[in-house]
Amino acid sequence: MIYNQEAFDIRMDWGYAGVRELAPISDVIIIVDVLSFSTCVDIATARGALIYPYRWKDESAVSYAQEMGAELADFKRKFTAGYSLSPTSLTAIEAQTKLVLSSPNGATLSLATGSTPTLCGSLRNAAAVAAKAKEYGNRIGIIAAGEQWPDQTIRVAFEDAVGAGAIISYLTGTLSPESKASLAIFESAKSSLLTDIKNCCSGKELIERGFEQDIDLACDFNVSQYAPLLQEGGFYSVNC
């Protein structure tokens, strides 16, 4: 009870442990993984695709894709051919496409929420996701995915704190101190959103790898009116 922020309507936490704390006592959970998973899910589902999150990048993902009658996104981030965790690779995905998207962060967290309704939020759809979340109740949990250090411990990621804060800015109710902090980060960055995210650690890493366009897509603030909802193992878009 100490760690679940239950005294407040709007709660914010990080990673898998955060999901375990917030999901059981929330009306809805919002997963935020700005520079990869959440942006991919928004782009793909807004075009009518169905995204199946999957945790592992191994042979079990191949079997799962076959079981679901879906394509399997490439394990390596790329946009030159086929689909991957690069949002750019999904900008032309066709409606009705079923795609398994393996991710150690956003996908893993999405599958950890149990029976709690789960939305996928980003900077692209912050207002839409907040509006949809309110339909489920006042107790809203926002989970910032973060990244992983080489030893697989969580690395707090600036872009996910900003994304969580952007969604919180459209919510009403009492805010936990953690939610207030995330909101303050967003408020400080919103006038220089693209520049700040390109200059944060995650942004610089993607630019060095040749994925600057992915950042541009991720920072298209509120261009999407869709809220990806997880049902029967897959995200599909709900028009808000």
Name the residue ranges covered by the structural domains of the chain: 10-234
Query: Is residue 114 left, alpha or beta, with left meaning phi > 0 and alpha meaning psi from -120 to 50?
Result: left
DSSP H or E run through 29: strand 28-32
Mean pLDDT of 114-135: 98
pLDDT of residue 11: 98
Would you state the structure tokens that stand for residue 224, as one six-digit string? 């999407």
User: Hey, what CATH topology would domain 10-234 get?
Assistant: putative 2-phosphosulfolactate phosphatase (3.90.1560)
Task: Answer whether residue 138 shows pLDDT above 90.
Answer: yes
pTM of the predicted model as reported, rounded to 2 decimal places = 0.96
How large is the C-alpha radius of gyration of the chain? Answer: 16
Mean pLDDT of 13-17: 96
| Per-residue model confidence as pLDDT tens digits over 142-156 | 999 999 888 888 899
